[in-house]
Structure 1
Amino acid sequence: MPETSPPPEDLTGLSLAEIARLAAERKLPPVEKWNPAHCGHSDMRIARDGTWFHQGSPIGREAMVRLFASILRREPDGRHVLVTPVEKLDIDVEDAAFLAVELKTEGTGRDRSLAFRLNTGDIVVAGEGHPLRFEDKGDGPHPYLAVRGGLEALVARPVYYELAAIAIEEAGEPLGLWSNGRFFPLESE
Structure 2
Amino acid sequence: MAGLDTVQPGQSLADIARLLADKRLPPVERWNPPYCGAIDMVIKRDGSWLYLGSPIGRHALVKLFSTVLRRDEDGRYYLVTPVEKLQITVEDAPFVAVELVSEGKGGQRRLGFRLNTDDYVIAGPNNRLRVEVDGKTGEPRPYIHVRRGLEALINRPVFYELVSLAMEEGGETGTLGLWSDGVFFPLGDTGGGEIGEGGS
TM-score normalised by L of structure 1: 0.93
Cα distance between partner residues in 2 of 1:130 and 1:176? 16
TM-superposed CA distance for 1:48, in Å, is 0.3
- In the alignment, does 2:45 pair up with 1:48? yes
Cα distance between partner residues in 2 of 1:22 and 1:162? 25
- In the alignment, does 2:82 pair up with 1:82? no
- The aligned residue for residue 144 of structure 2 is 145
TM-superposed CA distance for 1:12, in Å, is 6.3
Cα distance between partner residues in 1 of 2:62 and 2:169? 37
Amino-acid identity (%):
58
Count of aligned pairs = 186
Query: What are the Cα deviations for residues 76-121 of structure 1, in whole angstroms up to 9, with x where unaligned?
Result: 0110000000100011000001000111010001100000011111
Q: Which runs of structure 2 are paired with 1:25-174 in the superposition (5 Å)?
A: 25-137=22-134, 138-139=136-137, 140-172=139-171, 173-174=174-175
Give the RMSD, CA atoms, in angstroms.
1.9
Q: Indicate conservation of the 8 Å contact 2:7/2:16, yes or no.
A: no
TM-superposed CA distance for 1:6, in Å, is 5.8
Q: Secondary structure at the match of 2:40?
A: strand
Which is further off, 19-28 or 68-77? 19-28
Cα distance between partner residues in 2 of 1:27 and 1:58? 28
- The aligned residue for residue 185 of structure 1 is 186
Query: What are the Cα deviations for residues 3-46 of structure 1, in whole angstroms up to 9, with x where unaligned?
Result: 9x962598863211222123223221000000111101121100
- In the alignment, does 2:12 pair up with 1:18? no
TM-superposed CA distance for 1:75, in Å, is 0.6
Q: Indicate conservation of the 8 Å contact 2:31/2:82, yes or no.
A: yes
- Shift of the 10–26 alpha-carbon distance from structure 1 to 2, 3 Å rule, reads closer
Which is further off, 18-27 or 179-188? 18-27
Which is further off, 36-45 or 122-131? 36-45
Query: What are the Cα deviations for residues 154-183 of structure 1, in whole angstroms up to 9, with x where unaligned?
Result: 001110011000111112111111000000
Q: Indicate conservation of the 8 Å contact 1:145/1:152, yes or no.
A: yes
Q: Indicate conservation of the 8 Å contact 2:3/2:120, yes or no.
A: no
- Shift of the 9–143 alpha-carbon distance from structure 1 to 2, 3 Å rule, reads farther
Q: Indicate conservation of the 8 Å contact 1:6/1:63, yes or no.
A: no
User: Please, which runs of 5 or more residues in structure 1 have no aligned partner?
Assistant: none
